[in-house]
């Protein structure tokens, strides 16, 4: 049987999603937990790998097993073997053609910035922070230049292993509630550090260092050196993955939100 599952995790506890011999990873913990329930080694495939410190709310995986287990046994058995920093939110059998990565139509991220004079304490690893006053309306206007298909070389990290930098952003926007600024972006796929580079670049517009139209010029230049700095990992959340309706996966998701 092949199963799809949704994993939520606190990225501050891990050195990224991908398994590592020398450091804790989300993949390592989840594979170990599922393997204990299956009573045999299980390998998982995720919709999109996240970096050190990046959080996941709607990370989707798939795995295969011949072990006869109920859905409750897979979910609650896995969760009983996971640390407090990760949890399986749901699991269901899927068609053999389903692939967590290659069947995905789009992925959604949210980036959260606390914009006030004092740094956060309780949320120190949950949000980014800047004391510089940000104009979220200008940031939103600038973000609209990123909609559609573009070569995002200017927002691609040096270590990116993708064959090309062309991606399609379906939806992007910046909003503010109190001291918190939210950047929401949905695309068919993302480059290494792309969302964090978008955030860092929009910060420069929000601070008044660059104009709204400068973002369009930046994309045209295809030069990473011209963009803003990579924003901190702690503010980034992997929120949701869209799949074709034929796989009948849950479509509902929630966005992380704070009011402190």
Q: How many angstroms separate the CA atoms of 123 and 103, rounded?
A: 34
Q: Residue 198 in contact with residue 183, Cβ under 8 Å?
A: yes
Active site annotation includes 171: no
Q: At residue 110, what are phi and psi to the nearest 5 degrees? A: -125, 135
183-193 b/e with 16+ CB inside 10 Å = b?
bbbbbebbbbb
Per the annotation, does 19 bind a ligand? no
Q: Which of 10, 21, 51, 171 is an active site residue? A: 51
Q: Which residues are catalytic?
A: 51
Question: Which residue ranges are tagged as binding site for substrate?
Answer: 109
Question: Which residue ranges are tagged as binding site?
Answer: 109
């Amino acid at each position: 049987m092949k199963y799809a599952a949704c994993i939520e995790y606190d990225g501050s506890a891990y050195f990224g999603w991908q398994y590592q011999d020398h450091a804790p990873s989300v993949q390592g913990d989840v594979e170990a937990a599922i393997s204990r329930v299956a009573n045999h080694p299980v390998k998982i495939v995720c919709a999109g790998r996240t970096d050190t410190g990046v959080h996941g709310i709607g990370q989707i995986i798939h795995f295969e097993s011949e072990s006869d287990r109920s859905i409750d046994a897979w979910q609650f058995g896995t969760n009983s073997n996971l640390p407090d920093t990760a949890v399986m939110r749901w699991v269901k059998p899927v068609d053999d053609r389903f692939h967590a990565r290659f069947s995905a139509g789009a992925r959604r991220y949210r980036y959260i910035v606390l914009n006030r004079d004092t740094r956060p304490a309780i949320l120190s690893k949950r949000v980014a922070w800047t004391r510089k006053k940000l104009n979220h309306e200008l940031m939103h206007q600038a973000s609209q230049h990123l909609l559609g298909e573009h070569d995002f070389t200017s927002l691609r990290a040096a270590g990116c292993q993708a064959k090309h930098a062309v991606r399609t952003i379906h939806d992007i926007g910046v909003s503010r509630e109190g001291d918190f600024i939210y950047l929401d972006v949905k695309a068919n796929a993302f480059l290494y550090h792309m969302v964090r580079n978008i955030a860092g670049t929009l910060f420069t517009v929000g601070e008044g260092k660059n104009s709204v139209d400068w973002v369009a010029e930046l994309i045209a230049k295809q030069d990473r050196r011209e963009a803003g700095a990579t924003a901190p990992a702690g503010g980034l959340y992997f929120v949701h993955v869209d799949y074709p309706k034929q796989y009948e996966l849950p479509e509902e998701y929630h966005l992380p939100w704070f009011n402190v």
